[in-house]
A and B are shown apart, each in its own frame.
Chain A
């Protein structure tokens, strides 16, 4: 038998108090009587005096037993059976919620302690695969011995990442042995669960956005508790101006707070929850607004209409060049007139080709056509009926997505390669009425938004930052630590502002925020995935070290003892 909260045994120090109180209550009281002979006759007739003394001690014994069982219940006992097997996979949750602090210890520290205790129960020759569960769950030890695992877990730190359930199931599905999951969450996979900590008493900011058109900042706060919470949310800009809002958040609900008339000159907005909770890391959220955090778009060549349309989009930073050249600057999107293979190789960026390469063009058409938008990415606020002008139809490869068609032929296609996204558009708007329509800038904005799946330069803890080959990239983290990026991608873990330098020139600032929750892709886990996983794992004659919570049984025992004590007490009087 082991105890999940050994500190509960400290309550045993109160047990002597029961004995003291009992004897103080039972202390012999001296009473004067006028005639003892009658009492002598009474005493002679009472032969049961001794048995009553036994009852008295029985009462004390029962009280001590009740006290002891309550102490044991507080220590949360579990019964652990012996492990019989050769190999086991241990999945240790090191996602953000494991940083929650309970009784001066984080859940991750407790989890490590639990794992160490669990290892003690296992035979010496057992082989262990150690998997860390986070946004990109991975196996960090393969066929390791107990001591090796013990040494390794001492070097592991808890991350600020979200737990991606789909990836965790993917990683664990490759395990061919029983899986023990140590987590503070109720996870549907694994053959044995070791649950750490109680309910999560936390409030966290899950997202923040700024609408450049209405100059409104929006912040979303989630209540992870089972009770309603009142939270004071503060918004602060880099100049120290601050505003607060009070929100009442129902249990497990998300509530939005918004601030209007935010100056567009503001560079960074900081949202913060003023109340302290178990998980402080998600109480602060940085919302980048300044130019240095806006998407950088390079327009190569002349296109008057497109240039005007781009300039109407407030949240992008457009640079125009006649020709692309080798520079250190990194762009989020390059808009090109032609498919220059050399530039494409160089850019390694998202590219929008206004003129598709010849091999992609099927035929050139002139006439009136009604472009039909197929992709959801382009439908926003867009109506292109009665389009009239020149257009080309292009060939869409199998791995390319057709965003717009005319007369059943592709007009805009989008693809993805290792350098980034690319888009071919065959609308020749110079020879059409499209640039004069109010829909044109909306179409341009929607096409640009197709390249970016996330708003602005916001990153979440756990996102990867890939180095550019041949460039000496350095990154300065929010704590001031400097790291060089070479070949291996860097995981952005600590929330805050990162500064990237290439060849010692500052290139870009990144904002990393805590993840928007504690679990993601939960809905993608299907019963089929879990059952397939189990079918592959449960082979061979394996008996896992099983644990059974004994607390409920002990509480029942306490109740029974209370009833017995009451009966004994009643019998005495």
Chain B
């Protein structure tokens, strides 16, 4: 862990979009406020605060102009960690990778004094810890994430039932073996969230190394299928999984959502860096 945190120490999390709501903080917002960042002049309108009138401009133009400054807000980072049973798969394990990535992002958020909320996503969205600010929360957060055990099915729509999402970045760490991803992404975008999709798959999911007659058991549902796996079938599966990934990527790109795909044999620091937009 120590080594991992050292690796990501220099990464900075920043939103690509300007924040539109939330408490006053140190990140540029879309609105106008009382920061020192001058934005421009506009004609005085009745009802404006007369303290904002630029008297020097009045002396030159004999018109009243108001000086406007950019507002600064607090950025909120939401990390949604998929804890369905399908995450407990592969070698290296997907869940272990997802935990590391979630901890890394949490560390970066807390380090740069942004507000952090961490959720787990199973059959419903569960809060691990909300509205944390400052590095002091990190030691508390680590055991909470580590103790979480992947189990059950995923209900991604449960994200839409959560209405307390603050303005900022929402990281969703999952394998995205779901069906209604598009709706959820639409919902998050409509809430002004900058969404980052971190899709993790194990190498075995991309290239299954099984052979011959197999009874396939779904980890989440327990459903079974019989299949005779030969070279041609493997090739067909690989084609299907490539198509699935391509579909996920398209869903994100058409909504201007940052999409990061990684296999579990990648270094967690590299995944965090890609998620933060550094590389």
A152 CB-CB contact with B under 8 Å: no
Provided the pairs A28-B226, A31-B214, A49-B228 are in contact, do residues A38 and B89 lie with their beta carbons within 8 angstroms?
A: no
Contacts of A52 in B (CB 8 A): 228, 230
- Complex formed: what's the CA distance from A49 to B220 in Å? 26
**Interface-facing stretch out of B18-26, B186-194, B236-244:** B236-244
B217 touches A35 (CB 8 A): no
A43 CB-CB contact with B under 8 Å: yes
Contacts of A154 in B (CB 8 A): none
- Complex formed: what's the CA distance from A161 to B221 in Å? 85
- Complex formed: what's the CA distance from A573 to B94 in Å? 30
- Complex formed: what's the CA distance from A28 to B211 in Å? 10
Hey, what's the 0/1 contact readout for A20-52 against B, CB within 8 Å counting as 1? 000000111111111111111111011011001
B216 touches A36 (CB 8 A): yes
A121 to chain B, nearest CB (A): 49
Hey, what's the 0/1 contact readout for B219-250 against A, CB within 8 Å counting as 1? 11101011110111100110011001000000
B230 touches A26 (CB 8 A): no
B218 touches A35 (CB 8 A): yes
Cβ-closest chain A residue relative to B226: A28
Contacts of A49 in B (CB 8 A): 227-228
- Complex formed: what's the CA distance from A34 to B95 in Å? 12
- Complex formed: what's the CA distance from A298 to B144 in Å? 127
Contacts of A37 in B (CB 8 A): 177
Q: Which positions 297-340 of chain A face chain B at CB distance < 8 Å? A: none
- Complex formed: what's the CA distance from A362 to B223 in Å? 125
Residue of A27, A38, A573 touching B230 (CB-CB under 8 A): A573
- Complex formed: what's the CA distance from A28 to B214 in Å? 5
B244 touches A39 (CB 8 A): no
Provided the pairs A38-B241, A49-B228 are in contact, do residues A29 and B215 lie with their beta carbons within 8 angstroms?
A: yes
A572 CB-CB contact with B under 8 Å: yes
- Complex formed: what's the CA distance from A446 to B92 in Å? 102
- Complex formed: what's the CA distance from A29 to B202 in Å? 21
B244 touches A46 (CB 8 A): no
- Complex formed: what's the CA distance from A42 to B215 in Å? 14
Provided the pairs A28-B213, A29-B212 are in contact, do residues A36 and B218 lie with their beta carbons within 8 angstroms?
A: yes
Contacts of B106 in A (CB 8 A): none
- Complex formed: what's the CA distance from A27 to B202 in Å? 26
Provided the pairs A29-B213, A33-B218 are in contact, do residues A572 and B244 lie with their beta carbons within 8 angstroms?
A: no
B225 touches A34 (CB 8 A): no
Cβ-closest chain A residue relative to B84: A34
A288 to chain B, nearest CB (A): 76
Q: Which positions 159-212 of chain B face chain A at CB distance < 8 Å? A: 175, 177, 202, 205, 208, 210, 212
A303 to chain B, nearest CB (A): 102
Cβ-closest chain A residue relative to B218: A36
The main secondary structure of chain B at its interface with chain A is mixed
A53 CB-CB contact with B under 8 Å: yes
Contacts of A31 in B (CB 8 A): 210, 214-217
B86 CB-CB contact with A under 8 Å: yes
Cβ-closest chain B residue relative to A52: B228
Contacts of B217 in A (CB 8 A): 30-33
Contacts of B220 in A (CB 8 A): 34
A43 touches B89 (CB 8 A): no
Task: Give the A interface residue count (CB, 8 A).
Answer: 27
A30 touches B215 (CB 8 A): yes
- Complex formed: what's the CA distance from A56 to B202 in Å? 31
- Complex formed: what's the CA distance from A26 to B217 in Å? 18
Determine which residue in A34, A36, A39, A42 has the highest number of CB atoms from chain B within 10 A of its CB, and name it. Answer: A34
B227 touches A572 (CB 8 A): no
A572 touches B205 (CB 8 A): no
Contacts of A572 in B (CB 8 A): 230
Provided the pairs A28-B215, A34-B175, A36-B221 are in contact, do residues A42 and B210 lie with their beta carbons within 8 angstroms?
A: no
Provided the pairs A34-B205, A573-B230 are in contact, do residues A42 and B177 lie with their beta carbons within 8 angstroms?
A: no
Contacts of A46 in B (CB 8 A): 227-228, 232-233, 236
Cβ-closest chain A residue relative to B94: A34
Contacts of B94 in A (CB 8 A): 34
A147 to chain B, nearest CB (A): 60
B45 to chain A, nearest CB (A): 57
B237 touches A29 (CB 8 A): no
B177 touches A35 (CB 8 A): yes
- Complex formed: what's the CA distance from A78 to B130 in Å? 90
Provided the pairs A29-B214, A29-B215, A42-B236 are in contact, do residues A34 and B89 lie with their beta carbons within 8 angstroms?
A: yes
B231 touches A41 (CB 8 A): no
Q: Which positions 339-373 of chain A face chain B at CB distance < 8 Å? A: none
A272 to chain B, nearest CB (A): 62
Provided the pairs A29-B213, A32-B219, A42-B240 are in contact, do residues A53 and B228 lie with their beta carbons within 8 angstroms?
A: yes
Determine which residue in B208, B214, B216, B237 has the highest number of CB atoms from chain A within 10 A of its CB, and name it. Answer: B216
A36 touches B228 (CB 8 A): no
Cβ-closest chain B residue relative to A38: B240
Cβ-closest chain A residue relative to B87: A34
Contacts of A28 in B (CB 8 A): 213-215, 226
Q: Which positions 51-73 of chain B face chain A at CB distance < 8 Å? A: none
Contacts of B86 in A (CB 8 A): 34-35
- Complex formed: what's the CA distance from A35 to B84 in Å? 11
Contacts of B212 in A (CB 8 A): 26, 29
B226 touches A42 (CB 8 A): no
- Complex formed: what's the CA distance from A34 to B89 in Å? 7
Provided the pairs A572-B230, A573-B231 are in contact, do residues A38 and B213 lie with their beta carbons within 8 angstroms?
A: no
A34 touches B177 (CB 8 A): yes
A60 to chain B, nearest CB (A): 13
Cβ-closest chain A residue relative to B201: A34
Cβ-closest chain B residue relative to A35: B177
Contacts of A53 in B (CB 8 A): 228
Residue of B87, B213, B221, B237 touching A42 (CB-CB under 8 A): B237
B141 to chain A, nearest CB (A): 26
Residue of B89, B223, B232, B236 touching A36 (CB-CB under 8 A): B223
A58 to chain B, nearest CB (A): 14
B89 touches A32 (CB 8 A): yes
Contacts of B233 in A (CB 8 A): 42, 46
- Complex formed: what's the CA distance from A35 to B177 in Å? 6
Cβ-closest chain A residue relative to B244: A38
List 19 additional contacts besides A52-B228, A56-B228; criterion CB under 8 Å. A29-B215, A32-B217, A32-B218, A34-B87, A34-B94, A34-B177, A35-B177, A35-B205, A35-B218, A36-B221, A37-B177, A38-B241, A38-B244, A39-B237, A46-B232, A49-B227, A52-B230, A56-B213, A572-B230
Closest 6 CB pairs of A and B: A35-B177, A34-B86, A36-B218, A34-B89, A30-B215, A28-B215
> What are some 9 contacts across the A-B interface (CB < 8 A)?
A28-B215, A33-B217, A35-B177, A35-B218, A36-B216, A38-B240, A42-B236, A43-B225, A49-B228
Chain B interfacial positions (CB closer than 8 Å to A): 86-87, 89-90, 94, 175, 177, 202, 205, 208, 210, 212-221, 223, 225-228, 230-233, 236-237, 240-241, 244
